[in-house]
């Protein structure tokens, strides 16, 4: 293969990697091999060849597409293309902006002497991304060591009000209900005459946990506690998925997997753009139902919904979306950290729309610390209506 | 047995011969997987024709299709191999009567004769003719431990049975993995595959599919069905969008009812074929269906 093309594939891979695609050296080799197999006669084939190697998830397609079209412009034409670079890359979809990550990645690539060709000016011109809304950023206080220790201890104590679910896998157990023929036969051959039945039982594992947490203005005083909690849970067990919502829905699962809580929270703080703003519960739930529910609720997940039910859209669409959410999960737990004050009554429309669709309702007042939160979650569950009634009376 | 296609164009023809109407992008991924002996990983919504690709490949290439349907708790005993315990027990009894030495018995009962081969092992077994097509269907339904096991099988195409030793495929099978994305498959597995997201087809392509798959439907009906389904997919407030399989079923259903062109009544009567959630049906049935249909008819008329 032509040396330049080879090098360019490598630089292309590096650009993609810098833009956040998980691409290792193995993939670069695979790409070269694939391009060899298909040939470079047709630009379209070339596109799909690289696509088959570099793209691993559906959401990477957009990034790949943009990167491809910027990177693989005919280098000879590049100078003449300068003017063409200015408008949006895919003009049929107005308003589409170059992915910010990609823009940054290309930019970083240019400033070092990564690519043989000088394209700095062009790419600069193409960086047309803009800030979408003026939204608040969050700065979390760093966790102290005492807090960390407390968090770990609290999470250990936490028992979600749902038993582990049986899987279809088995573990050896002398008092198990089923015989394990394979183990029995092997033991028999080892020991000789007596056939001792080996037994096994079903393995159990905790169900997946999906946390949907409200971060709007009315909830902002608890954000740190909740994030701390979510980070601790994410690192304590597998299959935990976390979403934040205010005016939009953000999946922060990957950020919370960082072991260090401060790094994790920093990442979350910079990824989420609607801290302490309004709430559009209905719309965010709809977004979740459409884009994520099938992907994360598949295996009997428990949903923990953390919100005070105060909704900017006055409860519009909440009932319907809550119903859909309730039908798609194993158990829906609503944790409501509403501050109680003199003369308070649960009149909010959002609240009334949510209440009929949850399995468990857990109000919590004066939520100060993570252990408080864990205590609330571990309490044996009372039935939804009883809890609601008790809460109303007390209020 | 047909030989493997020599180019992307050949692959496209091959799929077409098996009545599969696909895009060139798909053919590229298939071609790569065939020539470079790596699994093809197909992801997409239900009913867009992922499984069909494996079936068509097996048929047009004249290979045996071995299908492993995944489910939660899928284990080695049902995916790879199992010993035939009852026969082994009988053998032990017989051996005791014949007073054979223990070593001989052990060797005897853990031999090929007592092995029940499941799909993964079958796919690696040397046999007459060319390697088979191994379809690992709906991988997202199984759990992470099985995925990890699969990783080992798919990278070396070999399986180790402690009692027997390692079985290695002479020629690796053609592997097609599908996923409906009810959970994310680990990157480590995807990395070993050629990935392709099977999307809903564009109107033109869908019409072509319908002509092949539902040749009995009137031309006018097919056009309207496709345009209507495309409209539904564009509305974006349905919980489950109809896939290509639903489009084909719908065309079949309407043809059975002797419908030659869509009417609001015909849509209302048969909407259950297209949409599978009551909320979605309630949303579309009646006035919304009528509105979409009017749009469809107008657009088709303006095109000519």
Which helix (H) or strand (E) element contains residue B93? helix B85-98
Q: Which fold has domain B8-77+118-198?
A: Rossmann fold (3.40.50)
In a domain? residue A349: yes
- Give pLDDT, residue A282: 87
Query: Of A33, A57, A168, which is closest to B73 when you measure between CB atoms?
Result: A168
- Give pLDDT, residue A156: 67
Which residue's structure tokens are 């200015």? Answer: A86
Q: Clarify whether residues A188 and A250 are in a common domain.
A: no
C-alpha span between A150 and A232 (Å, rounded): 11
**Do the chains contact at B28 and A49, CB–CB below 8 Å?**
yes
Of residues A146 and B222, more confidently modeled: B222
Contacts of A49 in chain B (CB under 8 A): 28, 32
Say which DSSP state B201 is in.
Answer: P
Give the A window 50-89 contacts with B, CB below 8 Å: 51-53, 55-58, 61
In a domain? residue A134: no
- Give pLDDT, residue A129: 32
Q: Clarify whether residues A188 and A230 are in a common domain.
A: no
- Give pLDDT, residue B106: 77
Q: Clarify whether residues A118 and A265 are in a common domain.
A: no
| CATH number (domain holding residue A251) | 3.40.50.410
**Do the chains contact at A45 and B8, CB–CB below 8 Å?**
yes
Query: Of B7, B72, B187, which is closest to A168 when you measure between CB atoms?
Result: B72
* Pair type for strands A178-179 and A165-172: unpaired
Contacts of B43 in chain A (CB under 8 A): 58
Residue ranges of chain A whose pLDDT lies below 50: 75-97, 109-136, 342-343, 395
Q: Where are the domains of chain B?
A: 8-77+118-198, 81-116, 203-298
- Give pLDDT, residue A143: 60
Q: Pick the range with the lowest mean pLDDT from B32-46, B67-81, B103-117.
A: B103-117
Contacts of B31 in chain A (CB under 8 A): 37-38
User: Max CA-CA distance within chain A?
Assistant: 87
Tell me if residue A188 falls in helix, strand or coil. Answer: helix
Mean pLDDT of the B94-123 span? 84
Q: Clarify whether residues A100 and A191 are in a common domain.
A: no
Contacts of B74 in chain A (CB under 8 A): 168
β-pair partners for A171 = A201
C-alpha span between A64 and A50 (Å, rounded): 9
C-alpha span between B201 and B138 (Å, rounded): 21
Other CB atoms within a 10 A radius of the CB of residue A313 amount to 16
The residue of chain B with its CA nearest to that of A289 is B239
Contacts of B106 in chain A (CB under 8 A): 189
Contacts of B24 in chain A (CB under 8 A): 44-45, 48
CA distance B162 to chain A (A): 12
Which helix (H) or strand (E) element contains residue B195? strand B194-198
Q: Clarify whether residues A101 and A250 are in a common domain.
A: no
Q: Clarify whether residues A104 and A237 are in a common domain.
A: no
Contacts 24+ apart (CB under 8 A), A185-189: A185/B83, A185/B85, A185/B88, A185/B89, A185/B109, A188/B92, A189/B102, A189/B105, A189/B106
In a domain? residue A131: no
> Where would I find the H helices in chain A?
3-18, 25-38, 43-54, 61-71, 78-85, 100-111, 120-126, 145-157, 181-191, 223-236, 253-256, 261-271, 281-291, 293-296, 318-328, 349-354, 370-378, 384-394
Query: φ, ψ for residue B40 (rounded to 5)?
Result: -105, 125
Contacts of B85 in chain A (CB under 8 A): 181-182, 185
The total number of residues written for chain B in this structure: 304
User: How far is residue A292 CA from its own chain's centroid?
Assistant: 9
- Give pLDDT, residue B270: 93
CA distance A83 to chain B (A): 30
* Tally of domains in chain A: 3
CA angle centred on B173, ends B184 and B71, rounded to 5°: 35
Q: Clarify whether residues A197 and A53 are in a common domain.
A: no
Residue A282: CB partners within 8 Å, gap ≥ 6? A311, A313, A315, A316, A317, A318, A320, A321
- Give pLDDT, residue A141: 58
Q: Clarify whether residues A102 and A155 are in a common domain.
A: no
Mean pLDDT across chain B: 89
Q: Clarify whether residues A309 and A371 are in a common domain.
A: yes
Contacts of A56 in chain B (CB under 8 A): 187, 190-191, 195
Q: Is the CB of residue A295 less than 8 Å away from at least one CB of chain B? A: yes
Q: Clarify whether residues A284 and A271 are in a common domain.
A: yes
Q: Is the CB of residue B83 less than 8 Å away from at least one CB of chain A? A: yes
Are B5 and A2 contacting, i.e. CB atoms less than 8 angstroms apart? no
Contacts of A209 in chain B (CB under 8 A): none
In a domain? residue A225: yes
Q: Clarify whether residues A194 and A259 are in a common domain.
A: no
In a domain? residue A135: no
Residue B162: CB partners within 8 Å, gap ≥ 6? none
DSSP letters spanning B208-266 = HHHHHH-TTS-HHHHHHHHHHHHHHHHH---SS---HHHHHHHHHHHHHTT-SS--HHH
Q: Is the CB of residue B93 less than 8 Å away from at least one CB of chain A? A: no
Q: How many CB pairs under 8 A join A and B?
A: 107
Q: Clarify whether residues A235 and A352 are in a common domain.
A: yes
Taking the CA atoms of B130, B138, B41 and B226 in sequence, report the sign of the dihedral they define: positive
**Do the chains contact at B190 and A56, CB–CB below 8 Å?**
yes
Test the B interface: residue of A56, A165, A178, A321 with most B CBs within 10 Å: A56
pLDDT in tens, A154-191: 776 776 656 677 787 888 888 888 888 888 887 877 77
The two structure tokens encoding residue B4: 């493997």
Q: Pick the range with the lowest mean pLDDT from A160-169, B27-36, B81-90.
A: A160-169
**Domain coverage including residue A176:** 167-205
Give the A window 131-170 contacts with B, CB below 8 Å: 167-169
pLDDT in tens, B160-209: 888 888 988 888 999 999 998 888 888 889 988 999 999 999 999 999 99
> Which has the closest alpha carbon to A312: A349, A355, A347?
A349
DSSP letters spanning A243-311 = EEESSSEEE-HHHHTSSSHHHHHHHHHHH---TTS---HHHHHHHHHHHTHHHHSTTT-EEEEE-----
Report the C-alpha dihedral over residues A348, A354, A355, A358, rounded to 10 degrees. -160
* CA gyration radius, chain B: 24
Mean pLDDT of the B133-140 span? 94
Say which DSSP state B128 is in.
Answer: S
Q: Is the CB of residue A171 less than 8 Å away from at least one CB of chain B? A: no
Q: Is the CB of residue A194 less than 8 Å away from at least one CB of chain B? A: no
Output the pTM of the full model. 0.77
Contacts of A189 in chain B (CB under 8 A): 102, 105-106
CA distance B195 to chain A (A): 5
Test the B interface: residue of A52, A59, A184, A286 with most B CBs within 10 Å: A52
Give the B window 117-176 contacts with A, CB below 8 Å: 140, 143-145
């Amino acid at each position: 293969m032509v040396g330049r093309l080879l090098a360019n594939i490598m630089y292309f891979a590096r650009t993609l990697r810098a833009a956040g695609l998980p691409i290792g050296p193995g993939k670069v080799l695979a790409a070269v091999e694939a391009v060899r197999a298909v040939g470079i006669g047709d630009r379209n084939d070339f596109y799909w060849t690289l696509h088959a190697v570099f793209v691993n998830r559906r959401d990477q397609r957009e990034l790949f597409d943009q990167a491809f079209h910027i990177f693989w412009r005919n280098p000879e034409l590049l100078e003449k293309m300068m003017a063409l670079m200015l408008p949006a890359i895919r003009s049929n979809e107005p308003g589409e902006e170059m992915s910010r990550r990609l823009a940054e990645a290309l930019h970083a690539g240019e400033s070092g002497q990564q690519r043989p060709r000088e394209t700095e000016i062009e790419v600069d011109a193409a960086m047309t991304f803009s800030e979408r809304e003026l939204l608040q950023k969050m700065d979390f206080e760093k966790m102290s060591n005492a807090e960390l220790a407390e968090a770990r201890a609290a999470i250990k104590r936490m028992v979600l009000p749902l038993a582990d679910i049986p899987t279809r896998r088995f573990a050896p157990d002398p008092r198990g209900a089923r015989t394990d023929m394979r183990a029995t036969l092997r033991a028999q051959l080892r020991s000789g005459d007596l056939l001792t039945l080996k037994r096994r039982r079903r393995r159990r594992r905790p169900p997946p946990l999906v946390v949907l947490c409200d971060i709007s203005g009315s909830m902002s005083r608890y954000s740190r506690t909740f994030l701390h909690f979510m980070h601790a849970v994410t690192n304590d067990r597998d299959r935990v998925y976390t979403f934040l919502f205010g005016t939009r829905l953000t999946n922060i699962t990957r950020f919370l997997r960082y072991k260090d809580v401060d790094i994790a929270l920093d990442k979350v703080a910079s990824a989420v753009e609607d801290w302490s703003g309004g709430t559009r519960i209905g719309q965010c739930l709809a977004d979740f139902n459409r884009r994520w529910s099938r992907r994360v609720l598949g295996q009997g997940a428990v949903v923990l919904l953390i919100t005070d039910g105060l909704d900017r859209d006055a409860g519009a669409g909440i009932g319907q979306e809550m119903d859909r959410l309730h039908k798609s999960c194993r158990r829906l737990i609503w944790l409501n950290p509403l501050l109680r004050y003199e003369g308070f009554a649960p009149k909010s429309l959002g609240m009334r729309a949510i209440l009929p669709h949850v399995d468990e309702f857990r109000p919590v007042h004066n939520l100060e610390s993570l252990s408080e939160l864990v205590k609330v979650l571990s309490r044996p569950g009372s039935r939804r209506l009883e809890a609601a009634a008790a809460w109303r009376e007390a209020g | 047995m047909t030989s493997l296609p020599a180019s992307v164009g050949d692959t496209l023809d091959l799929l077409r011969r098996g009545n599969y109407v696909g895009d060139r992008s798909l053919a590229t991924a298939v071609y790569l997987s065939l020539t470079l002996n790596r699994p093809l990983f197909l992801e997409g919504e239900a009913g867009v024709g992922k499984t069909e690709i494996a079936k068509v490949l097996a048929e047009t290439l004249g290979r045996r299709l071995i299908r492993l349907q995944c489910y939660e708790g899928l284990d080695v005993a049902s995916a790879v191999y199992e010993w035939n315990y009852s026969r082994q027990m009988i053998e032990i009894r017989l051996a005791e009567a014949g007073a054979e030495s223990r070593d001989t018995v052990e060797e005897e009962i853990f031999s090929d004769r007592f092995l029940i081969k499941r799909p993964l092992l079958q796919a690696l077994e040397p046999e007459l003719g060319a390697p088979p097509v191994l379809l690992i269907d709906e991988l997202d339904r199984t759990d992470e431990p099985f995925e990890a096991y699969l990783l080992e099988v798919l990278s070396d195409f070999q399986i180790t049975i402690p009692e027997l030793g390692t079985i290695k495929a002479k020629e690796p099978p053609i592997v097609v993995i599908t996923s409906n994305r009810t959970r994310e498959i680990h990157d480590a597995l995807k990395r070993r595959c050629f990935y392709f997201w099977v999307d809903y087809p564009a109107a033109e392509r869908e019409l072509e599919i319908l002509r092949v798959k539902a040749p009995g439907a009137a031309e006018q009906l097919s056009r309207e069905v496709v345009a209507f389904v495309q409209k539904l997919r564009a509305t974006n407030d349905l919980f489950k969008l109809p896939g290509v399989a639903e489009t084909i079923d719908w065309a079949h259903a309407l043809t059975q009812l002797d419908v030659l062109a869509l009417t609001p009544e015909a849509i209302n009567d048969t909407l259950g074929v297209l949409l599978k959630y009551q909320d979605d049906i309630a949303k579309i049935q009646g006035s919304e269906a009528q509105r979409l249909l009017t749009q469809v008819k107008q657009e088709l008329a303006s095109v000519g």
